[in-house]
A and B are shown apart, each in its own frame.
Chain A
Amino acid sequence: MAKTILAVDDSVSMRQMVRYTLQGAGYTVVQACDGVEALELAKESRADLVLTDVHMPRMDGINLVRELRALPDYKFVPMLILTTESSQEKKVDGKRAGATGWIVKPFNPEQLLSTIAKVI
C-alpha cells in the first residue's frame, strides 16, 4: 500500500508542488494548510510521514511536531520540517520539538524525494 504523507504548508503553491512531486512518486498525500488542520487530520488517520512548513498561521510547524510527538500513534513517525531558515536555531527548535530532520528550501523535486526516501 502506498505510504501516506501529511504535507502541511500555508502556501497553496508549495502544497501543490509538494503534492505533485510526491504523488508522482507513488505516495498518497494528505494536505493541511496549518498546524491546527494538520493535527486534526493526523488524528483521523495515521500518516507514515509528516512534512511541515515552519511559519504558518494558527499553529506553526514546530508546535505541530511537538503536539504530534505527544500522540501515541506518532511516537515514531518521521517528521520533517520544511524551512528556508538555514540558521541552526530553527533546526534545533525543530529537533527539540521532535522533528526527525529538515529540508531546507529551496529544494527541487529530486531533493524532496531523496530526502523522504531516507526516512520511509
Chain B
Amino acid sequence: MNLDPEMMEIAKVFFEECKEGLDVMESGLLNLDASADRETINTIFRAAHSIKGGAATFGFAEVANFTHGVETLLDEMRNGKRAITPEGTQVLLQGCDCLREMMAATEEGRALDQARIEALNREIGEILAAPGVHAAAAAASEPPSTAGPAADERAAAGAQAAAPASAGVGAGWRIRFEPVPALLKLRNEPTRMFAELARLGELTVRADLGAVPALADIDPESCYLAWDLELRGEVSKSALDEIFDWVDPACRLTFMPFGPQDAAPAVAAPPPAAIAAPAAAPVAAATPAPRPVPAAPAPVAAPAQIAARAPVVTPAPVAVSAPAAAAAPAAAKASAEAGSIRVATEKVDHMINLVGELVITQSMLNRFADGVEPEDLERLRQGLAQLARNTRDLQESVMQVRMMPISFAFNRFPRLVHDLSRKLGKKVDLRLTGEGTELDKTVLEKISDPLVHLVRNSLDHGIETPERRLAVGKPESGLLELAAFHEGGNIIIEVRDDGGGLNKAKILAKARDRGLVDPNQELGEDQIHNLIFMPGFSTADQISDVSGRGVGMDVVRRNINDLGGQVQITSREGHGSVIRIRLPLTLAILDGQLVRVGSETYVISLLAIVETIQVRKDQLSTIAGRTELFRLREEYIPVIKLHEMFDVSGGRQATEDGLLVVVEADGKRVGLLVNDLLAQQQVVVKSLEKNFRQVRGLAGATILGDGTVALIIDVPGLIDRNSADELRAGAARAARSERRAVRAA
C-alpha cells in the first residue's frame, strides 16, 4: 500500500511494536499451560489483537488475516471454549515465528513465504475445526470473520429490508423511529442522524408528540418524541443501517421502502408545534427538519489534504521513550540496524542534572579567573574537587546511556530452551538471574550469539536425558541457569547446568586423537577442560543439528576475546559445568595498564594481563635464532619485544632487565617486553580506524592527562599475528593440529 511519509514513520513504530508484541506473546506462550492464570492468556490475546488491528489499519492485509486465525484460537482458549494443550501452544509459537517473518518481509518489502503461512493456517484451522471443550458452545460461537459493520443484525430492524432501494424516481424510505427515553443519555443525538439522512436524499421529518408528558413531569434528559421520516432518493438499506447503527437496540426502528402508491411525493410539512412544544427539553432535536440537500456531499477530508498538512504533526520516532527501555524489550537487533538507542527518560534527566551541577562548579571556579589570593586557595581546591566529582559522575551517566539490561540477550532463551529440549527429548528448567544487569549495547549485541552457542551446548552435551538422570539419582528435569552479575568493574555471565559435566578421559582421548595434544603430554584438570575451546574439537558422539560440527567453542572464545573478555569452564564430572564469561562493562572505556616502551607510552588492557615479571636472562631461550621464548614456570611463552615491533627508539635491545607483561587471549599467552610499568587508569578508547587507519596490533588510541597520545595494544590481534608467524614452537604445533583437525572434519 502507499502511505505518505508521515504514515510510513508511524508504520515503523508499528513494526517495532509488533516485535515487542510478538516477544510478549512468545514469553506468554512459553508460560502457558492448563494451570496458567487468566492474565497470561489475556496478555497474549491482547498482543495478538493489537497486531491484527494495527496490521489491518496500516493495510497489511495478509498479516491481519493470518493474525486473525491466531487471535481466534487464543480467544477460544481465553473463553474456556478450547482447552490449552501443548500442541495448541506449539502451533501458536510457530504462528509467532511466522508472524515475525511476515513482519520482517513486509517491512523490507520482500515477498511472503506463502507456503509456510498456508501450512500454519491449515494447522490452526484444524484445531479450530475440532470440537472444543463444549462442543455445542464452540459450534454456536461466532464463525471467524473480519466482516465490517455490515454483519451487524439489529433486532428492532427485523422488519422488511428485503427490498434494496428500488431504483428510479420516487424511490425512498418511510422510517418510523421510536427511541427509548434514555436515547440522549446514550448520546444518540437524533439531530445528527437526521442531518446524515438529509445528506442522502430529500428528508421530511415529522415529530410524534403523543408521548410527551405534562411539563411538570418532563425529565430534561429524557427523550419523549418519536419521529416519522420520509427519505426520498436512491438510498440503500445498508446506508440507513449505518446511520442508525449506534442506536440502542431497544429503540423501535422500522424502514419501509416506498411502494408504488408513494410515487407522487406527498410532501408533509412538519407541524411547527413539534418544535415548540417540549422547549424545556434539550430536544431541539426536531429542528433540523427538511434540509437542502447538497448536490454532491463533499468527502470529509481528502487524503491529499491530510498529507499536505503533514508538517503540523511530527511524531518523532520516539528515540527517547518514557516507559523505560528496560521494560520494553525492543528488539535489540532492529535498533542496532537503526543505530539508535531507547533511553529511559530518567537517565537523560540525571544527565541534565549533572550538567547543571557542572555549570555551577564552572561559575564557582570562574571567580578565580582574575588571580588567586592565598586565602582563596582552599576554595579553589574545593572547586577543583567538585569539578572532578562532577566530571566523573557525568561520565558515568553518559556511559549509562549506552547501557542496556542483559535481559535483551536473555529473553530469547526461554523459547530456545523450550524448542531445543523438546527436540532433544530432554526436560529442562531454565532459570535466569540478574536480568537487570546492564552492559554496553555493543557488548550486549555481540555476546548474544556466543551465549546461544553455550546454551545449546549445555542442552545437547551437558544435560542428560530424563531416563539417564533418574538412573543416576538426579531429578528428572535438568536445570540450566543463566546468571549475570557485576564483579570488580566487570560483568560476569555464567551458564550453569547440572548435567553430566565434562568427561575428562573422553576429552583427552579425543584431543589426542585429533592431535591437539601430544600423546605423552600430561595435563591438569583445567587444561583438559579448556581443550574444548580448541579449534576443531567436538565431543558429541553423533553430530547433530543442535551441537554443530565442533566449530563452535573456539569461535565462542574468539568472539569473547574480541570483546576484551575471557571465558573459562569449570566442570565436575557427573555434577555439571559452569562456563564463566568475564566482560568489560563497556568498549568505550578501558581499564588500562600504562607501560613505557622506549620513549613512548602504550596501554594494555588490564583484563588481558595475567602477570608481570622481571625477566632473567637464564629464563630465555632462542629458537630459529630470532624468536625468544621465556620459561614461565612449566610453560614456554613467546616474547614480543614491543620496541622492535613498533620500531620505537630508545627501547631496550637486550631482553634482560626489562619487564615482561604476560597477556592472554584465545587461550594463548605471550610475553610483551616493556621498559616500565606506569599507572593503571581508565582510558577512553578512540578509534584509530576513524581517525587514521587500521593498524595491526593496535586496538585504538587514547589521550592521556598530559595531552599525549598513547596507543592501545590489541592483545588478541597481537597473539594472532604472532601465532601466524608460526615461529613459536607451541603455536606451530597448534597450527599443525588445527590443520589436521580441519582435514579430519
Contacts and interface: CB of A to CB of B under 8 A. Distances in A.
Interface of A: 10-14, 16-17, 19-21, 23-25, 53, 55-57, 75-79, 84, 86-88, 91-92, 95, 98, 100-102, 104-110, 113-114, 117-119
A24 B318 contact: no
Given A12-B17, A75-B185, A17 B49 contact: no
Contacts of B149: 86, 104
B186 A24 contact: no
B185 to A, nearest CB: 7
Interface in B1-27: 6-7, 10-11, 13-14, 17
Contacts, number: 125
Contacts of B46: 10, 55-57
Contacts of A106: 53, 56-57, 59, 64
B476 interface: no
Contact of A109 (B56, B147, B306): B306
A76 B315 CA distance: 31
A88 B152 contact: yes
Given A17-B10, A55-B50, A105-B56, A88 B153 contact: yes
B622 to A, nearest CB: 67
B741 interface: no
B383 interface: no
B315 A86 contact: no
How big is chain B's contact interface, by range? 35 or more
Q: Which 6 A-B pairs have the closest CB atoms?
A: A106-B56, A101-B246, A13-B14, A100-B187, A13-B13, A24-B306
Nearest to B50: A11
Given A14-B57, A84-B53, A119-B192, A109 B10 contact: no
Interface of B: 6-7, 10-11, 13-14, 17, 43, 45-46, 49-50, 52-54, 56-59, 64, 142, 145-149, 151-153, 184-189, 192, 196, 245-246, 248-249, 299-303, 305-306, 309-310, 312-313, 315, 318
Given A55-B50, A101-B246, 17 more contacts: A11-B53, A12-B318, A13-B13, A14-B14, A14-B53, A14-B54, A16-B13, A16-B315, A20-B7, A24-B301, A75-B185, A87-B142, A88-B153, A100-B186, A105-B53, A105-B57, A114-B300
B152 A91 contact: yes
A119 B243 CA distance: 12
Contacts of B59: 106
A110 B145 CA distance: 23
B148 A86 contact: yes
Nearest to B154: A88
Contacts of B151: 86
B10 A100 contact: no
Nearest to A107: B57
A72 to B, nearest CB: 12
B245 A25 contact: no
A87 B50 CA distance: 17
29 contacts: A10-B50, A11-B17, A12-B17, A13-B10, A13-B11, A14-B14, A14-B57, A17-B57, A20-B6, A23-B313, A24-B309, A24-B310, A24-B313, A55-B45, A55-B50, A84-B49, A86-B145, A86-B147, A86-B152, A100-B246, A101-B188, A102-B246, A105-B53, A105-B57, A108-B57, A109-B303, A113-B300, A118-B192, A119-B187
B6 A78 contact: no
Contact of A92 (B14, B187, B249): B249
Contacts of A104: 148-149
Contacts of B142: 87
A71 to B, nearest CB: 14
B57 A55 contact: no
A88 B184 CA distance: 21
Given A20-B313, A20-B315, A24-B309, A78 B187 contact: yes
